[in-house]
């Protein structure tokens, strides 16, 4: 598997024609991933990429922009908790504002997590559904125990959450869990990744009106390519709770688009057709195109777009604007 796909002339055409004037001068990417095989107990499909690789590639993708990031290692079942923490702490220290997460692995106890937070000063946690016995249709506490949420509450951490279950946030159990967590753990701030995993907007159609009334719920926009999902957030949420993200490099750096049908979604690389140009651009560019369309439909102001790309993250993570 390639680490990422190199920018093409078509990518540069999309940037110049559609995105150059839309993307502000300062960009905080709230959802990025690194990898180091030495942090994993078993071989994986990923190639090593540290902060220097991410930053260099991102500067190609976002030319002439001031960039910063929230760093997260790629989730993998074979991750060694201690080794990933040591690696990630070193990489996070290289960023401008030192924002990054530790992945929650199945062997992590509250004591081990608290010790890691004390030692490395991570700003957030990243649980992931592949750590559960049923990754596709599990409850949050199947891969992220409440005793660990208590640690997050004690240290006032953020939690970047890619939820499970076929219907995402439209699933009654997921919605009930967030109602419970946000009421009980008032110091935890939840970043619902991928527009609350609304790759398909049906999951947000009704539930945005429930989420918006919950305290400490935030979102990143990473990898979502359906403009309606982003529109629902822009139209019905508090804009200050929405942050830009890419899911780069491995997911956002593919020439493809996440498409939707029925109640499903998957990335699609395009196909050869006789009636139009068949070129695909990067997932992260398709996400930006959808964001631009959603902003236009929702009547989002230029000032709010600047907050979405940078200001909201500065407020959330408490760094200088």
Low-confidence ranges of the chain (pLDDT < 70): 1-4
- Is the residue at 231 inside a domain? yes
- Is the residue at 172 inside a domain? yes
What are the pLDDT digits (tens) for 125-138?
Answer: 999 999 999 999 99
Half-sphere exposure of 18 (CA within 13 A, CB side): 17
SS3 state at 233:
helix
**Which pLDDT belongs to residue 3?**
60
SS3 state at 187:
coil
Taking the C-alpha atoms of residue 20 and residue 15, their distance in angstroms, rounded to an integer, is 6
- Is the residue at 4 inside a domain? no
**49-86 per-residue burial string, b: 16 or more CB within 10 A, e: under 16:** bebebbbebbeebbeeeebbbbbbbbbbeebbbeebbe
- Is the residue at 3 inside a domain? no
What are the pLDDT digits (tens) for 219-255?
Answer: 999 999 999 999 999 999 999 999 999 999 999 999 9
**Which pLDDT belongs to residue 99?**
98
**Which pLDDT belongs to residue 197?**
97
**Which pLDDT belongs to residue 177?**
98
The CATH number covering residue 38 comes to 3.20.20.140
**Which pLDDT belongs to residue 207?**
96
Nearest in space to 307 (alpha carbons), one of 213, 242, 212, 230: 242
- Is the residue at 1 inside a domain? no
**Which pLDDT belongs to residue 1?**
43
Domain count, the chain: 1
**Which pLDDT belongs to residue 2?**
53
Owning domain of residue 179: 9-317
According to DSSP, the β-strands at 257-261 and 264-268 are antiparallel
- What pTM did the predictor assign? 0.97
């Amino acid at each position: 598997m390639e680490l990422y796909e190199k920018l093409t002339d078509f990518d540069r055409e999309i940037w110049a024609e559609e995105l150059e004037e839309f993307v502000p001068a300062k960009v905080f990417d709230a959802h990025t991933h690194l990898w180091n095989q030495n942090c994993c107990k078993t071989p994986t499909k990923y190639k090593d990429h540290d902060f220097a690789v991410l930053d260099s590639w991102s500067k190609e993708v976002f030319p002439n922009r001031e960039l910063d990031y929230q760093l997260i290692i790629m989730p993998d079942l074979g991750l060694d908790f201690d080794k990933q923490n040591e690696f990630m702490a070193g990489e996070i220290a290289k960023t401008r504002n030192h924002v990054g997460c530790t992945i929650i692995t199945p062997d992590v106890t509250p004591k081990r997590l608290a010790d890691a937070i004390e030692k490395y000063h991570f700003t957030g946690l990243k649980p992931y559904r592949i750590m559960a016995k049923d990754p596709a249709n599990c409850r949050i506490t199947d891969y992220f125990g409440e005793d660990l949420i208590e640690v997050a509450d004690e240290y006032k951490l953020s939690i970047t959450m890619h939820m499970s279950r076929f219907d995402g946030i439209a699933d009654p159990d997921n919605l009930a869990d967030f109602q419970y967590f946000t009421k009980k753990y008032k110091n935890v701030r939840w970043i619902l990744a991928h527009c609350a995993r609304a790759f398909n907007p049906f999951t947000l159609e009704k539930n945005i009106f429930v989420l918006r009334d919950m305290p400490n719920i935030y979102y990143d926009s990473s990898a979502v390519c359906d403009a309606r999902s982003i529109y629902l957030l822009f139209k019905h949420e508090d804009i200050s709770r929405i942050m830009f993200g890419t899911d780069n490099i491995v997911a956002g750096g593919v020439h493809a688009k996440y498409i939707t049908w029925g109640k499903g979604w998957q990335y699609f690389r395009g196909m050869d057709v006789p009636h139009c140009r068949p070129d695909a651009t990067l997932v992260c560019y398709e996400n930006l195109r959808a964001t631009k369309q959603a902003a236009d439909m929702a009547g989002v102001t230029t000032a709010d777009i600047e907050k979405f790309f940078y200001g909201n993250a500065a407020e959330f993570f408490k760094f200088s604007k």
